[in-house]
A and B are shown apart, each in its own frame.
Chain A
């Protein structure tokens, strides 16, 4: 069964600076600065312009990164997605 699908703002709507392993993100529509740690920036990147659910994002992440256990990753990604939704950085479709 597939979970909720999410969409990220287009990449032009954010400005990203990486500092010492953390990602600082300036969200242009809201003017809010966010500080993100792994894997939130990777999730935003994997979402790109194509909406997906947690399982879809995990398979996109697996294609780009070396991931040991894909089954364990899905609930983690689902939890981060709901945090990103609360922060206003992704939208649930």
Chain B
């Protein structure tokens, strides 16, 4: 392809090729400081191409292509080329992963121990992960948690954090402008702006962490905490996994191992500040 970038995020090498320069320039800025893929070989490739050759000139529209495809990976306006690249990278991961149990969840680490945050879209996973990443935690990932099937450790996958709507201003107030990508208006999820994780998250991306706590956050409610028993946590995590069924017995053993060792809580929170305070309190109680 005419324009391309190769980079490594955690264990995986990606190559993104594009018919246009803009998405690649945006990715190069957003992923500044990320290493090259191991042995220069990408595990996943994403191609951004004109939907039809003539559309490149008439009404530019990006179609995502790659090793694994979903039929509903809709073409997007060229202005959203960066978003298309990010979606394509997620898609390759979600569909092609066999080495790790993949959970749709954010992970942060402290003292070698990982905190998993999972919940439905809108629960605030990305926002909480971004906030925690600026408040003494190492961000391991805001989108996918990678649980290895042999040792039961979480591995880091610190892609750019996808901030939506209200979370954008919240983080703009705390993080230098140089770590942000362009603001993308009117995407299918509203306004989106990507945030590069802090330098520590990139430098330590090869350090795994042992699961210590699982949280199911819910944004927009009065502060509340409820213990979640193992079997309920297990069921909710199978629903949060993109490849549990495909992995079979190794996935079953990895997930029961995770739920067996890390206590789970459902938390409700009205805003980011109270969520951070609540998470710190639960974390401190865990250590006692």
Q: Tell me the A residues contacting B by CB distance below 8 Å.
A: 15, 17, 19-22, 24, 26, 28, 31, 33, 35
Contacts and interface: CB of A to CB of B under 8 A. Distances in A.
B231 interface: yes
Interface residues of B, number: 14
Contacts of A28: 249
Contact of B235 (A15, A21, A35): A35
The majority secondary structure among interface residues of chain B is helix
A20 B230 contact: yes
A35 B231 contact: yes
B252 A26 contact: yes
The majority secondary structure among interface residues of chain A is strand
Contacts of A20: 229-231
Q: Which 4 A-B pairs have the closest CB atoms?
A: A19-B230, A22-B231, A17-B256, A26-B252
A12 B238 CA distance: 23
11 contacts: A15-B253, A17-B253, A17-B260, A19-B231, A21-B229, A22-B230, A24-B256, A26-B252, A28-B249, A31-B248, A35-B231
Given A33-B238, A35-B231, A35-B235, A19 B252 contact: no
Interface string B83-113: 0000000000000000000000000000000
Interface of B: 229-231, 234-235, 238, 245, 248-249, 252-253, 256, 259-260
